[in-house]
Structure 1
Amino acid sequence: MLKSLEKRKELLGLIEKIARDKGFFDVYDLSGASGMPRSTVQDWVNRFVDDGCISVLEERSGRKRAKYAMRRIRSLPASACRRIFTTVDGDIVEIFHECRSEGCIAFCEYMYAIGNPRVRKNGLILRQKVKTGPVASVANESLDLEKVTVSNGLVYQHIRTFGGPAYSLTEMMESADGVLDIKYSKKGDYVEGIVVTEALTHMAIGVDDTDDADSGATFALTLSMLDLLSSIEGVRRISHNVGFLYPDVPGKTAGNAVSYIELAVKKELVESLIQRAADYLREQTHSKDTGMAVKIGLKACPELLSFACRARNGVVTIDEAQAAARKSRVRTYEITGERGIIGAVASLGMIDSPPEALMDVKTPILTG
């Protein structure tokens, strides 16, 4: 099913490009661009005609080929939706919607939060963490995420919209990177749609102690590592974050900051990505005490949160860090030493906290 949807999106993209250049396309055009047999392409074209994605301009007549055109043409060239993707852990789903507009993301955050309080901005990414099944607790006239279901490696977001958000659903979301399919129908004044995305795995990597008194910076190295890992096919970049731990801890190089990154990845890539991250840190670190910690999945871990709180309010030990990691199914790695594991584990306890909490150790951190 997933491969079929990916092929559908690929072919529609080729059709749009050919039709934009020529004003129309035929089966020979699409076969040449895709490398697929004409018979297979014709099957897809017939399906697109039935779905309403394309229309028949001229029927086939003798040796004259049938001509087709894209049916849905946006009235405006720009889409506010840059990326839409999802991660899944059992019955928990996190939806990521990267926007090109500060105004649009603020609007969506406000509207979605009416029905789901677990909505937050992370830069220009709007994040919604939900359980599968019904979502919106309050009927909202403009924009509702009504239900989320997961089946056969795919996530289905059921959205109900009115006015401007309906335009986003019908004209913008389908062009977002990560959307495999979108179906919508008008029901009275409202538009109801289903957005289909791949069910990816959430992966967080915490790092600490990569610098020394003269060179290096953990935030810079983790950002570089995020660039490296997110360039791999099947990996989607979520975020790069910096947070502070207890400022008076002995042996700190500056303000006792830690960093962690978040990725959405295909499940089969998890082990190779961990190895790639460890190798990269080992090559680039300036410290003999670099540690790394990895959390897979979305489920909240009370022991991890508790340890992070203690690490922000006082001195903690490597034994405490390892105990919290074991109870939370967090993996730890001595890259060049064990001291950095303390900060790496603590950073993963701060994942669901906003930037103002990460920056101020006196502000309570949040649990997912």
Structure 2
Amino acid sequence: MDTIREQPPKGPPIRGRGAQSGDASARLGLNEREADGDWRDMAETLDGPAPRLRTEVTEESPRSILSFNQSPDIGFDRSVNAYRGCEHGCIYCFARPTHAYLDLSPGLDFESKLFAKPNAAKLLAQTLAKPGYQPRPIAMGTNTDPYQPIEARYRITRQMLEVCLDARHPVTITTKSDRVLADLDILEEMAARDLIAVAISVTSLDPRLSGLIEPRAPSPAKRLAALGRLTQAGVPTHCSIAPVIPAITDDAMEAIIAKAAGLGVTSAGWIPLRLPHEVAPLFREWLEAHFPDRKDKVMSIVRSIRNGKDNDPGFFSRLKPTGVWADLFRARFRVACGRAGIGDGKAKFALDCSQFRAPMVGGQMRLL
């Protein structure tokens, strides 16, 4: 793993945000600048403390929208993301390093300088309409959350779901927001055609703890309520305990499974904490700010399940931790699922690709 300079947090914890710094990517060497007499070196002295960090949204117009992958250890080969960056601010988010390629910080910039793709639905329709396109489930929410707060204004995720419903194209959604219920009308119709499955991530049942880990995501109670509402509506749902943070959130595993089962959810899974690239030093900063008494214990367990490293990026192994602690988590999860009568691992939702029909674009009429 690349060596990344760790910056100690300055002052009290930053409220309402996950990352504790906006340091640029040392991995790529972006935005690094030594003091050179520029007025910005004395900005805080001259102008006073910086104002409260605000969320900025930049609209962009990509030329393509569907991403394909050949990873052997994830269950989809194509995905779509309506946004770049995520205001939820989850400190553990493995997508944070992608902001470095924009010459922005994987820390505070990732959760405050967002990018929206208003033409995403149009691009998706054009892609699905191409001759020879072969349908397989499209994954939404694999990089940044499709139902983060700005979705309430842009509705890009809803527009893409409308395209998929019209094309009878199957979709999987992963989110940690109850905002998914705003599209329940579409999800119900897609569920009736076996075209949708929704996974909601619940990492803790303690709203205070959740507010530190995922500062701008809906509370655990709202996420569980959304799981129950979706289940009642006939939408296939999955409770994802992801990630499990050793010595911070792992004690909630059994209770989350029991709560989900009580709501009628029949599928659950867990994913261990991953700390790729800049996420590792950002997570260490967060530990120092919020859990200094157990930071060494947490990182010791993390390294013990990652072959002595902060992160294991290898195919097949990155989602399969090893060692005594990993075995303990697996055993606890299996026992809890057995007691709750819930599926051990993600259910194989039977999404139907046979109904696919190319969407109409450019005024062209559908032949069939």
TM (normalized to structure 2)? 0.29
TM (normalized to structure 1)? 0.29
Greater RCO (CA < 8 Å, at least 6 residues apart): 2
Determine which structure has the larger strand proportion and give its number.
1
Q: Greater CA radius of gyration, 1 or 2?
A: 1
